[in-house]
Amino acid sequence: MAWQGPNAWLVTVAALAAGSLVGAGGAALRATFTPWQVGDLAPVAGDVPPDAPRAEVPETRHEFGTIGTGTEGSHRFAIRNTGGGPLTLSRGHSSCSCTVSDFEGAEEGSAEATKVVPAGETALVTVTWKGKPPGGPFRQQVTVLTDDPRRPEIALVVEGVVVPTWRAVPESIAVANLSASEGRQTSATIYTYGPEPPVVKGVTIDHPQAAEFFSLATVALSAEEIAAEIGATGGFRIEVAIRSGLPLGRLRQTISAEFAMPEEVTAEVPLEGNVGGDLVLAGPGWDSSRQALVLGTVSGTAGLRTRIFITAKGPYRDRIRPTVEETVPRSLQVTVGPGSPVGTGGAVRIPLEIVIPPGSRAANHICSEQGPAGRIVLATGHPDSPTLSIPVCVAIGP
């Protein structure tokens, strides 16, 4: 009789049995040779003697919440010895900005410091970390080594969100349609995220006539206002009163608030706008968005000649008689022409002829960090806007 292959059911049963043995053997090999994760209980060969230490940690993770950039936070973790003998703790590895800064009772500042915890007692381990820019969520970990045969390593984790030490709302104060003949009230709120509420030392503005045109004050935020800003621990409001009489043209200043929490901090808030009124500038080269006369790069050999206009409105329009008080660069020559009525006479247009003569010396006033703006300063004769300062962006080449 011809030989027949094995019964299909027998093949299946045999395969399952073999697979079980191989799978069990593989699992055993993996359990033997795969290292345990930090913080897990390690397998122990044989029985653990009754006098062996035993480390128990009720909390291995601390959710800090928020921390300001550059500021430091810390948390204490408890490690209890529930075994029969003394438990020895020592420092393990840590992430870059998180360290075991203290074993209570260990030698301060020693990298090899250890702590022996008698049976039944508890050790406190302080973990310290520092918020680093640019901010965002963080998760830091340190490892404590033990001589507990069941738990040779304990991973302690702190996590949260790094936020700025302070934040201004709005980031920049924009003053639109500011008239030289009237005042204006505005403000900015400073939220802080430090361990202590801010103590304000002072607030200033960098305008050369700050005392004449600005009044600054600070008011502490209420608990409700602070709670409305996620993560904030304190804050104050900068109140700005702008008085009438500011020179016409672009307004760009910086408000600086100095405070401590407890480290010294300076918060800077830009104040920007345009001061207008009865006098309006227009003409070739006048950039209304920059509120500046943009002449660009001019050849010192050829020179330049151009013209812009002042339009005077309001009840004092017929009294406007501009005179030149200052020009930067000095080679800039400005001639004020006679005014003429516009339309039905509700406004007067006054021409300004601007000349950079051939042979002018090189100068850089291109309105950049390296070349600050030049200027034309006029006395106007207007009671509410006695001075008109016109920024000039120009570079004079060879």
**Domains in the chain: boundaries:** 55-163, 166-276, 279-397
User: Does the predicted TM-score (pTM) go above 0.75?
Assistant: no
Whether residue 316 contacts residue 382, with contact meaning beta carbons closer than 8 Å, is answered with yes
Q: What does the pLDDT look like over 86-109, one tens digit per residue?
A: 999 988 877 655 666 557 644 444
Predicted confidence band of residue 136 (pLDDT cuts 50, 70, 90): confident
CATH superfamily, domain at 166-276: Immunoglobulins (2.60.40.10)
Q: What does the pLDDT look like over 343-387, one tens digit per residue?
A: 888 889 999 999 999 999 999 999 998 899 999 999 998 887 888
Please report, for the chain, how many H helices and E strands are present, in that order: 3, 28
Give the distance between the most distant pair of CA atoms in the chain.
Answer: 133
- Does 253 have pLDDT greater than 80? yes
Residue 359: closest CA among 285, 304, 306, 294 = 304
Q: Which helix (H) or strand (E) holds 398?
A: none
pLDDT of residue 376: 96
Which residues are within 8 A (CB) of 169 and not within 5 positions of it... i.e. 6 or more apart?
188, 189, 191, 229
pLDDT of residue 162: 82
Do 166-276 and 55-163 have the same topology in CATH? yes
Residue range 279-397 in CATH 1.10.3470? no
Q: What are phi and psi of 282, to 5 degrees?
A: -160, 165
Q: What are phi and psi of 381, to 5 degrees?
A: 85, 0
Q: Which two tokens stand for residue 243?
A: 């008085």
Which residues are within 8 A (CB) of 306 and not within 5 positions of it... i.e. 6 or more apart?
283, 284, 285, 295, 353, 354
Residue 295: closest CA among 201, 229, 179, 376 = 376
Q: Which CATH code is given to the segment(s) 55-163?
A: 2.60.40.10
Torsion-angle region of 131 (φ positive above 0: left; ψ -120 to 50: alpha; else: beta): beta
